[in-house]
A and B are shown apart, each in its own frame.
Chain A
Amino acid sequence: MAGVSSSAPTPLAKYKLVFLGDQSVGKTSIITRFMYDKFDNNYQATIGIDFLSKTMYLEDRTVRLQLWDTAGQERFRSLIPSYIRDSSVAVVVYDVVNRASFINTTKWIEEVRNERGNDVILVLVGNKTDQTEKRQVSVEEGDAKAKEHDIMFIETSAKAGFNVKALFRKIAAALPGMENSAMARDTDLIDVKLNASASTNPTASQESSCGC
């Protein structure tokens, strides 16, 4: 139950999500797509940590997601551990057209495991799938890495709006408690392959609207 914030003045269950990954892999873009359904080619580089929050209305309950968008540049790494420590979900993002960013995800995953052990939902996200011709990392590779580390995996395109909602629904579906997260993870892994389009996801409602 580490993810549930107990100091809530509102009855909403709150969860903290931290977004990790190399610079310009699209962490801010994914968050902005999720929050405002917008995309811009030139988001300013994140300095330090950005904070955003959004209420998600699921079929059976409503959750409040607090998103921590971290800066990708190595110089800012000293800030990040404390956010990992506080978060119940870590989203590790790489850029499918940048192999180095994919290789570096291992470091991020290990860092999260070191801080939180198994007490965390980890998601590997391959972003920028719209750039098909420049792709350097295949779906299979991403999937294999996720399996190796026993974490969730999904490919997205913040630019095209592909799978971003699905990503958050997957996370939300895994949230209720860590006790059944292993099961959720298995089903989700199968989901990825079937789930070519973002529109079908049995566990979540279609609507997710901004509550702030």
Chain B
Amino acid sequence: MKSSLEGRSSAQETRQQRRSSRTCTTDVTDDLAAEVGSDGHRGALSDGSRKSVTAGALKADKVMPRHLGFVASQPESWDVLLATETRDILDLVSPSATDKETHATAQIRRDQKKKMKMIDGDNDDVLNFPPEQKGERREKTRADEKDLGDAVGTDTSTTCREAEEKIDIISMSELVYSRNKSEDHRKDDMGASGTAIPATTLWKRFKRAVSKQVGNSITARMMVGKNDGPPGAGASDTTAVQPMKEIDNNVHDENGPSPTSRGQVDPSRTMPDSIWALTERVEATHRKKLETALCRPFVSLDELQGLLWAGASFEQRASLWKFALQYVPCKASRRASVTQRKQQEYCAIRAETQTELLLLDKALKQIRKDLPRCLPNLPFLRGERVQALQTNVLLAWAKRHPLISYVQGMNDLLVPFLMAFGAECLSDADTRVDTQMGAFFETSDSSVAFEQSLESASARDRLESECYHCMGSLLDLFHNHYTTDQEGIQVQVLGLEQVLQFGDLELSTHLHSFDDLRTIQYAWRWIHGLFLRDFALPIAIRFWDALLSQDRAAASFPLYLGAAVLHNFRGEILALSSFERVLAFLQTGIGHHRKWLQVPTLLEEVLACAYLFSRQFPLDLP
């Protein structure tokens, strides 16, 4: 992982890397500029940022030991940090009255200022929050603040209330991301590292906005008394409350929205039966943005990754993943030739494996044992053609990586690719289904359709090549997870422990209070299978979206996701008092817990939290 910083000197280096990797300037920077307003203002911002940058770096030293390459510099207390942060937002928010600023937005700014001042005098209260919560709040604030920016830029008559109500799940996470990206850019400009811009008040505003939108709903009730827990609640479009069902992958989502209603807020919508309905619901605007981004003659990876962070439908996900994993080049004119070359390359490897079957015998036997029992709730995986395809791909990979060969669990890793790229095939084969793709894959119809779509050899070759190269790129990120001692996983588990300790001390202490409990007993499996085994598939796939949108930080992202999951289930875990129950919960309960369904924003909360952890506690993985 190159993105972590080892003090000032390597911070410089990292910045250079970042610069070179970002050839295209994104809209984010413009947003920032728009927000900041005039040049004079930029000065104010840079001052503020510098201050908080120092504070951010200080924070690291204050809280973290030097294990595992945690970043550290000069120590300073939380008080200073908070004071700096609150000043920052005042700098940012206060006198930036642009020509466009209306009465309404001025009002918002006054409100914010007032609240900021309240916080300033209220530091003790703030200090009681564990650091990651403050961080989380900070993120929310940024999103909220961005919302404010939107209100200024787009509709001058928008009132404060309306601005608040614009918040929804997808744009939330997207904003969190783009805000972070803009931070990157600013860091580049400022020549310093660390997080800026604070939060607390605006988080409260966000909560208020969400609970208002939800109206009578259960989520509003869930928010009450949430102050000591993770801020996980709120739905933008849940108005009716249904009795909860346990998440069951076998249950086909019948009440889920039809594709036509996707992205529109339907007041009569009820709580979905399956989590697919949550993860596959893509806002129309987001969809549109993705479409536009994907159509560019020179696709901006930066932009795509930003959008991927917020999720996608299966069809779009396929393209996004291919870009993110560098299967498809950014330049449109080169795409056909490059993919063709890659496909030929794959076919050559596959032909070689056929002549070396004796050498690969061990791997082949193992693959043949594992495929029939891989993720039993997905009928399409039982198809003959699909299994032959999986065998070919896994064997080809094993041939090219003789030291690793085939490791149990790799068959699971192939499944999300099969689903995403298969969804494309299904669309091509004109067997497009009415239901959402994810849920469709859990029906037996999918098996028939999938087998049909693989009828022609060219379709099979294409899908195999896509799966082979994309899985290969993914495994390259985690190459040391599958070597003899699997040290990569051990390091991640260790890192997860550390992150949790600094992110949520109470929970970490609780988990350590059980003599027999080891993080490795549950987290090892999460990381080995990249969450596919132990989490409901739609959740795992959304985790993958987030992971693949992470660029160079992707290699260490699983550990932050793990820590974020634990943190977001802290209430449930803290309530368990025996080793057996805790371990059973962490091994089998947590990934299929009904809270994922009950709290529609939970998934996004976890992702945002993971991102924050990765920012607050950067690790230098070997």
Residues of A near any B CB (own CB < 8 A): 5, 7, 9-10, 23-24, 42-45, 47-53, 66, 71, 73, 75-76, 78-79, 82, 86, 212
A48 with B580: CB separation less than 8 A:
no
Closest to A24 in B: B369
- Report which of A44, A45, A78 forms a contact with B486, defined as CB distance below 8 A: A78
Asked if B602 is at the interface (CB within 8 A of a chain A CB), the reply is no
Closest to A7 in B: B515
A44 with B528: CB separation less than 8 A:
no
- Report which of A9, A47, A86 forms a contact with B578, defined as CB distance below 8 A: A9
- Report which of A10, A51, A76 forms a contact with B584, defined as CB distance below 8 A: A51
A interface footprint on B482-513 (CB within 8 Å = 1, 0 otherwise): 10111000000000000000000000000000
**A50: B residues at CB distance < 8 A:** 587
The CA-CA distance from A178 to B515 in the complex, in Å, is: 23
- Report which of B372, B521, B584 forms a contact with A42, defined as CB distance below 8 A: B372
> Interface segment, B52-60, B221-229, B254-262, B373-381?
B373-381
A51 with B521: CB separation less than 8 A:
yes
Contacting residues of chain B (347-379) with chain A, CB-CB under 8 angstroms: 366, 369-370, 372-376
B408 with A47: CB separation less than 8 A:
yes
Closest to A42 in B: B373
Asked if B479 is at the interface (CB within 8 A of a chain A CB), the reply is no
Closest to B586 in A: A51
Q: Distance (Å) between the CB of A104 and the closest chain B CB?
A: 14
A73 with B578: CB separation less than 8 A:
no
**B369: A residues at CB distance < 8 A:** 23-24, 45
**A49: B residues at CB distance < 8 A:** 521, 524-525
B520 with A79: CB separation less than 8 A:
yes
The CA-CA distance from A43 to B587 in the complex, in Å, is: 16
Asked if B37 is at the interface (CB within 8 A of a chain A CB), the reply is no
Asked if B529 is at the interface (CB within 8 A of a chain A CB), the reply is yes
The range of chain B's interface size is: 20 to 34
A48 with B528: CB separation less than 8 A:
yes
A44 with B580: CB separation less than 8 A:
no
Q: Distance (Å) between the CB of B100 and the closest chain A CB?
A: 56
Closest to B404 in A: A75
Contacting residues of chain B (582-606) with chain A, CB-CB under 8 angstroms: 583-584, 587
The CA-CA distance from A45 to B370 in the complex, in Å, is: 7
B580 with A66: CB separation less than 8 A:
yes
A75 with B484: CB separation less than 8 A:
yes
A212 with B529: CB separation less than 8 A:
no
Asked if B337 is at the interface (CB within 8 A of a chain A CB), the reply is no
B407 with A75: CB separation less than 8 A:
yes
Asked if B577 is at the interface (CB within 8 A of a chain A CB), the reply is yes
Contacting residues of chain B (540-563) with chain A, CB-CB under 8 angstroms: none
Contacting residues of chain B (10-69) with chain A, CB-CB under 8 angstroms: none
**B137: A residues at CB distance < 8 A:** none
Q: Distance (Å) between the CB of A56 and the closest chain B CB?
A: 14
Asked if B383 is at the interface (CB within 8 A of a chain A CB), the reply is no
B366 with A73: CB separation less than 8 A:
yes
B577 with A9: CB separation less than 8 A:
yes
**A86: B residues at CB distance < 8 A:** 516
Closest to A68 in B: B521
A interface footprint on B517-538 (CB within 8 Å = 1, 0 otherwise): 0101100110011000100000
